Structure 1
């Protein structure tokens, strides 16, 4: 990562969202950064910026950085495998045994070094990431992610029930104490990495543990990430475990771990959220991490993303490694569009498929809102940008910037990513 001059410009074909329905595409424009923030996009460089450093990318596409709202770093070691299982079987037979290996720091370093190198060179500029329940391995992941220059939230997973002999914390007390130790050991240590409270999901966390995590959340003012209404078997299980609740989201909300001004929250999947659950999510400002590839691979279903957008819920995209097999946020955009078409055709023809504009928005501005003013090239937004060089993708006809962007999204060719900036800092 290199530090940039306080003020500089990039020149190329610039594409960015302004809202879910609109994608601005300029064939030749200047994008100006000052002190890590976007100043604006201009057809000609304004007089006051004449003479600033300007890198001309020769008509490469310049787009906002992409924000992955949900993935599991330890699962990257087996991404692209075991895709013929449903969620709960997949967790018990593959995921839990693999995550148990992160008790060995030598293995954790080998695995996390691969993950951090790959995500550094991907389309992802910001992410919310699950680690494992191991304090030392989670701190190692934070150390390695800090060096990438990406802005991330990373969580030590909490789980004191329904795990395995090798992957389950001894008690709620032990889980809470380890969480506090992890927080104390990492507070103030990083510039790019922040902690996020991470109860794996309701079946993995006893009421006593959730009560203790709520106390930790209030003390340290942490955001929260977990899973919600992903799979019908999971939802039935939660109903058995939490008989005093009327829907899955209440299992978190009863402890104050479901959004609100003091508890920013990401809930992954939300494939089968009820009307009542969605109403509470909207009231609490919960962010939905839509994970289309994972929902397909694990046979979970197709989330009604059209409804979530139209009702004004916060929604972004997640790769959900390794339920999802690709780290590419470009692929996540294409997957979101494709599964919405299947839902429209096969499940509910009242919900139109997603447009390119809407899915691109989810990957940039939609998910970016969890991190602050992130995900577009409007004035005052943090300067996160990707340089996409599609010159090796041959075509016989002239293409507009929007057509080139759409093709790159569907081809999901991350080798076209030749530059990345985060908060004005050049990553590569």
Structure 2
């Protein structure tokens, strides 16, 4: 018997396309009694237990009762240095940065501190079923080294970058255009493409970088193949007015990034709450993506993200928690808030679209849908086992459900870290609930 092959039996759900493109019924596969077969860290087969079990020839089968197996969740926008300031009270974006964020990030000049927080951060992601994330470090290059070292030890597929910030921030957190470029380049050469790790050029947002720094960031983004670019865009109305004042020669916020060649495939713009039609069209035609961060948009009072508008313009969209402005590491909780954001706009969010955003949609936004996001043969075996009986209320609610769709919606409304029974990265268990 091949010892590298294992099989996992439970209800299984995975997305195969965007419901907005093919319709809900054609967008997923669901096996009420399914088997997922893993060989050497990759998906070998998935299907109904009745069919797959007959082909296994003595392979060990691990069974989960009252459980749902899905692909691992994908977080397209999160700040690991802000883990310790999650749930900080009472500010909107710009005051919140000065009051909480910048003092917290100052501590990451100490690599030992950065390593400690990286370990806590990854444990939280995995406890919540997130197996891939696009991650802000701090301005200190050692913060990114610490993060990637922790990811490498767990063989996780992660993307991260050093913040670039040379103005409108405390002196203890600023770099220069030249040092930011040199430090980022050093990190790219050390980490980008190593194992399952990827690098993102990471200007914090336009107001905290001079034109000179943005120009060098654009040069860097164009200089290496398959790099990511990760920043913020149109989150808050006061922020947008500030950008207009700082860059009066540009036609809008997105045009600042466009001018400095920071827009294109693998560019991910967090938030995008206040985008006009022309900006959405430009994002779509350049293959850029937007990270929908529902909990932080509500927590900081930034506004309501218009998912339907993004769909109409065919913009790639992933789901982000935005910790620490977000209020939970849980993508299930993010989907809870996303549903409410849509309701406030008189729109609906189907539960199958929700799970698409948290899995294959995120993979598509990150240009990783050939590697992760569903259970197509040959993809990385990053997956999560969700427990239908994770709390007494969840268990009782599931007993009342008359369809799988109803169960799925209840998971997004009631689920959190307690719903995650086990998390796997490249076929290896990296979290098991006690």
Tell me the TM-score normalized by structure 2. Answer: 0.89
Pairs within 5 Å for 1:210-249: 210-221=214-225, 222-249=227-254
Aligned partner of 1:288 in structure 2 is: 290
Aligned partner of 2:152 in structure 1 is: 146
> Does structure 1 conserve the Cα–Cα contact (< 8 Å) formed by 2:333 and 2:412?
yes
Shift of 1:177: 1.8
Comparing 204-213 and 51-60, the one that deviates more: 51-60
Aligned partner of 2:6 in structure 1 is: 8
Q: Distance in 1 between matches of 2:6 and 2:261?
A: 44
> Does structure 2 conserve the Cα–Cα contact (< 8 Å) formed by 1:61 and 1:405?
no
Q: Distance in 1 between matches of 2:45 and 2:333?
A: 29
Aligned partner of 1:410 in structure 2 is: 413
Q: Distance in 2 between matches of 1:186 and 1:304?
A: 35
Q: 1:146-187, CA deviations, whole angstroms, 9 ceiling, x for partnerless residues?
A: 223331101111011111122111x21122122223333435
Q: Distance in 2 between matches of 1:78 and 1:52?
A: 46
Aligned partner of 1:425 in structure 2 is: 428
Aligned partner of 2:131 in structure 1 is: 125
Pairs within 5 Å for 1:8-407: 8-19=6-17, 20=19, 21=24, 22-35=27-40, 36-46=42-52, 47-82=54-89, 84-169=90-175, 171-186=176-191, 190-221=194-225, 222-260=227-265, 264-344=266-346, 352-369=347-364, 370=366, 371-373=368-370, 374-392=372-390, 393=392, 394-395=395-396, 397=399, 399=401, 400-407=403-410
With a CA cutoff of 8 Å and minimum separation of 6, indicate the structure with the bigger relative contact order. Answer: 1
Q: 1:183-209, CA deviations, whole angstroms, 9 ceiling, x for partnerless residues?
A: 334356x42322111111111111111
SS at match of 2:134: strand
> Superposition RMSD on alpha carbons, in Å?
2.0
> Does structure 2 conserve the Cα–Cα contact (< 8 Å) formed by 1:97 and 1:166?
no
Shift of 1:23: 4.3
Q: Distance in 1 between matches of 2:301 and 2:427?
A: 40
Tell me the TM-score normalized by structure 1. Answer: 0.91
Aligned partner of 1:348 in structure 2 is: none
Q: 1:353-391, CA deviations, whole angstroms, 9 ceiling, x for partnerless residues?
A: 222121221111100121232212234443321111223
Comparing 377-386 and 144-153, the one that deviates more: 377-386
Shift of 1:77: 0.7
Q: Distance in 2 between matches of 1:150 and 1:219?
A: 25
Q: Distance in 2 between matches of 1:329 and 1:144?
A: 21
SS at match of 1:119: helix
SS at match of 1:29: strand
Comparing 119-128 and 282-291, the one that deviates more: 119-128
In structure 2, relative to structure 1, the CA distance for the partners of 1:363 and 1:5 (3 Å cut) is: farther
SS at match of 1:12: strand
Q: Distance in 2 between matches of 1:320 and 1:7?
A: 36
**Structure 1 portions without partners, runs of 5+:** 345-351
Q: Distance in 1 between matches of 2:409 and 2:153?
A: 31
Q: Distance in 1 between matches of 2:333 and 2:179?
A: 39
Shift of 1:422: 2.6
In structure 2, relative to structure 1, the CA distance for the partners of 1:85 and 1:38 (3 Å cut) is: farther
Comparing 43-52 and 139-148, the one that deviates more: 43-52
SS at match of 2:173: coil
Q: Distance in 1 between matches of 2:313 and 2:110?
A: 45
Comparing 326-335 and 178-187, the one that deviates more: 178-187
Q: Distance in 1 between matches of 2:259 and 2:29?
A: 42
Comparing 133-142 and 315-324, the one that deviates more: 133-142
Comparing 204-213 and 19-28, the one that deviates more: 19-28
SS at match of 1:161: coil
**Structure 2 portions without partners, runs of 5+:** none
Comparing 385-394 and 196-205, the one that deviates more: 385-394
> Does structure 2 conserve the Cα–Cα contact (< 8 Å) formed by 1:31 and 1:42?
no
Q: Distance in 2 between matches of 1:226 and 1:90?
A: 17
Q: Distance in 2 between matches of 1:74 and 1:38?
A: 37
Q: Distance in 2 between matches of 1:184 and 1:30?
A: 40
> Does structure 1 conserve the Cα–Cα contact (< 8 Å) formed by 2:31 and 2:48?
no
